[in-house]
Structure 1
Amino acid sequence: MGHSHHHHDHSEGNIKVAFFLNFGFAIIEIIGGLWTNSVAILSDALHDLGDSLSLGVSWYFAKVAKRDRNQKYSYGYKRFSVLGALINSIVLVTGSVFIVIEAIPRLFDPVNPNTEGMIYLAIGGVIVNGAAAFRLSKGHSLNEKAVYTHLLEDILGWIAVLMGAVVMHFWDLPIIDPALSVLIAVYILFNVFKNLKESFRIILQGTPSDINIDKIHEIIIDIPEVLEVHDCHIWSMDGEYHILSIHLVIGNDLPLSQLEAIKNETKKRVSKLGINHTTIEFETSSEKCEPC
C-alpha cells in the first residue's frame, strides 16, 4: 500500500474543453433552430444538450479518477472513469433512439425548413464539434473514447444536416435529411456497443484485450530460479491501468535477497507487456496451492 502510482494524462482537460464547446453551441442551436423553423436542428440541439450533460458527468468522473487511494477505495478511484463511460454510452443510446424516433415520421411526411440558415448552422456545427473531437482523438482512456464517439456522432449528424440542407436548397427532396439521420444513428449505435462491451469487460474483471497471458507465463518461467508459474489473474482498473496477481514456484531455501531479485526481475519483465501493478506470491514445490 506504500507505493504511489501517478498515471498522468490529459483526459480531464480534453473533456473540459469538449464540454464547454458542446454546451455553448447547443444554446446557439436552440436559437438557430427556432430561427430556421427546422425541427431537425431543434432535435439536434436537444441531443447536444444531452451530450453536454454526459460530457459534464465524464469531466467530473475524470477528476474523481485522479484521487489517491484510501481506506474506502484501496485501489483508488480509477474505475470511476469507467462509470463515466457507461453513463456516456447510455445517454448516447438514448439520443440515437430519439433521432430514429424523430426521423422515421419525417420519412413519410417531410417538411422543408429554412435551408440557408440550416447550411450556416451545419457548417458551425462541423467546426465546433470537429475542434472538440480533435482534442479527444488522441485520448487513450475508455472515458475519452466514449466522449469521442459522442462528438463523432455530432460531426456526422451535422454533415448529414449540411448535405440535406444543400440538396433541399436546390431540389425538392426533403426526405434525404431523415434518411441520413437514421443511417448515422445505426452507425453510432454500433460504436456504442463496442464501448459498452469494453466497459463491462473491465467491470467484470476480464483480462484486458491487449494483454497476452501466455506471453506473461513465457517471460516469467524464463527466469532461472522460477520452476512454475500459476494462479495468474490479470484485470484492468480503467482500460489502461492493468493489474497482475501471480504465484511463482521456486526452489527451497532461497535467501531473501534472491527472492527480492526474482521479484524485481518479474516486475520489470511484465511491465514491458503493459502491466502497471504486480503482486507476487512465492511458493515451494512441496507447498499445496489453493487457486482462486
Structure 2
Amino acid sequence: MHDHHSGHHHPIPDSGSAIAWAFFLNFGFTIIEFIGGYLTNSTAIMADAIHDLGDSLAIGLSWVLNRISKKPHNEAFSYGYRRFTLLGSIINGTILIIGSIWIFTESIPRLFNPQMPMVEGMIGLAILGTIVNGYAAYKLSNGKTLADRMLNLHLLEDVLGWVAVLVVAIILYFFDWPILDPILSIGFTLFILLNVGKTLYKTIRVFLQATPDTEEYRELENRIRSIPNIKDVHHFHIWSLDGARNVLSAHVVIHSEIGIQRQRELKATIQACLSEYDFEHTTIELEFLEQGCRDEPAQPHSH
C-alpha cells in the first residue's frame, strides 16, 4: 500500500527574472570594462573584464538551465527538471575556480613587477563596477537553490574585486604603491575560492543524492519508529532535487490485524509528522509484518 504526498512545502521564489537581470547587467558592463581597460592601460581591469566575461557566460548558462528546470515532469523526467540547476551550479563553480587560478597567474608576477595604471580612470570604473555588480548581487540575494548561491558567489567576487580596485586606486592617487593592486587581488580571490569550494562540495553531494541533513534523517526515522503500531522502518531515503526541495520515501511495517480505518489514521499521523519538515514530495509504503518486503533481494534456491 502506497501513500503519495506532495507536502505542505513553502513555495521557492522564482529566480529566473533575477538571473536574467544579472546576465544582462554583467554582460553589458563587461563590454564597458574591455573599453575602459584599454583606455586606462590597466592590466587589472582587463583581467577583471575577462573574468567578468566568464561570469556572464556562466550566468547565461544558469539562466537557460533555470528555464529548463521549470518544465513539468514527464515520462522521461518523472520528478521534473529541477536537478538541471545543479548542473549549472557545478559548471559555474568550475568556471569560478578556473578564473580565480587565472587571476593568480596575472597577480603573482605583478608582485615582482608592479605597474602604475591610469588612476583616475580606475576610480571611475571601480565606482561604476561596484554599483552595477552590487545591484545584480542584490537581485539574486533571495535565491534559495544551490545554483542561485553559486551565482551570488560570482557576483560577490565581482563586487569585492571592484571594491579592491577602488581602494587601491584611491591609495595610488596619493601614494606610489602599485604593489597593493596584486596583493588585494590575491586576497579576495582566496576568499572567494574558499566559499566556492564549500558550495561546490554541497552541490556535488546533492548531485550524488546524499542525505541533506544526517541529524534530521536520524531524528525523523526515530520519530516514525516511535509511532504506535509501527514495527519497523526500512528503505528510508531523503534526498534533494536542487538543494532547496527535498524528497522522502520509506517502507513502514505494521501488523496485518490492523484494519483499514486504523491504517488510514496511521498514515495521517505519519504525514502530520512529515509536514513539519517541509518536503516537496513524500512516498510511504505500508507493509504487513507477515508478508516481508518485496524489495528485498531474492535468496538463492538451495538444491
Q: Displacement, 1:211?
A: 6.2
Q: Distance in 1 between matches of 2:73 and 2:6?
A: 9
Q: Does the Cα contact within 8 Å between 1:130 and 1:151 map onto a contact in 2? A: yes
Q: Distance in 2 between matches of 1:211 and 1:139?
A: 25
* 2:17 corresponds to 1:13: yes
Q: Displacement, 1:250?
A: 1.0
For structure 1, list consecutive stretches of 5 or more residues without a partner in the other structure.
none
Q: What is the 5 A alignment of 1:252-263? A: 252-263=256-267
Q: Distance in 2 between matches of 1:234 and 1:210?
A: 9
* 2:96 corresponds to 1:92: yes
State the partner residue of 1:24.
28
* 2:267 corresponds to 1:269: no
Return the match for 1:38 from 18, 33, 42. Answer: 42
Q: Does the Cα contact within 8 Å between 1:51 and 1:92 map onto a contact in 2? A: yes
State the partner residue of 1:243.
247
Return the match for 1:220 from 197, 203, 224. Answer: 224
Q: Does the Cα contact within 8 Å between 2:4 and 2:282 map onto a contact in 1? A: no
Q: Structure 1, residues 184-222: CA drift from partner, whole Å, max 9, x if none?
A: 111111111111111111111100038611221233234
Q: Does the Cα contact within 8 Å between 1:211 and 1:273 map onto a contact in 2? A: no
Q: Distance in 2 between matches of 1:253 and 1:90?
A: 56
Q: Structure 1, residues 89-119: CA drift from partner, whole Å, max 9, x if none?
A: 0111111111111111111111111001100
Instruction: Give the structure-1-normalised TM-score.
Output: 0.94
Q: Structure 1, residues 114-165: CA drift from partner, whole Å, max 9, x if none?
A: 0011001001111111111111112111111000000110011001111111
Query: Greater shift after overlay, 249-258 or 131-140?
Result: 249-258
Q: Does the Cα contact within 8 Å between 1:231 and 1:291 map onto a contact in 2? A: no
Q: Distance in 2 between matches of 1:136 and 1:209?
A: 25
State the partner residue of 1:140.
144
Q: Distance in 2 between matches of 1:194 and 1:109?
A: 33
Q: Secondary structure at the match of 1:78?
A: coil
State the partner residue of 2:300.
none
Q: Does the Cα contact within 8 Å between 2:86 and 2:203 map onto a contact in 1? A: yes
Instruction: Report which structure shows greater RCO (CA 8 Å, sep ≥6).
Output: 2
State the partner residue of 1:125.
129
Q: Distance in 2 between matches of 1:209 and 1:67?
A: 27
Q: Displacement, 1:224?
A: 2.5
State the partner residue of 1:193.
197
Letter in 2 for 1:46: I
State the partner residue of 1:177.
181
Q: Distance in 1 between matches of 2:4 and 2:263?
A: 19
Q: Secondary structure at the match of 1:286?
A: coil
Structure 1 residues 116 and 101, CA, compared in 2 at 3 Å: closer, same or farther?
same
Q: Secondary structure at the match of 1:234?
A: strand
State the partner residue of 1:230.
234
Q: Structure 1, residues 165-198: CA drift from partner, whole Å, max 9, x if none?
A: 1111111100000111111111111111111111
Q: Does the Cα contact within 8 Å between 1:11 and 1:141 map onto a contact in 2? A: no
State the partner residue of 2:206.
202
Moved over 6 A (4+): 1-6
Q: Does the Cα contact within 8 Å between 2:246 and 2:281 map onto a contact in 1? A: yes
Q: Distance in 1 between matches of 2:251 and 2:5?
A: 20
Equivalent residues, number: 292
Q: Distance in 2 between matches of 1:288 and 1:279?
A: 18
State the partner residue of 2:160.
156
Q: Percent identity?
A: 46
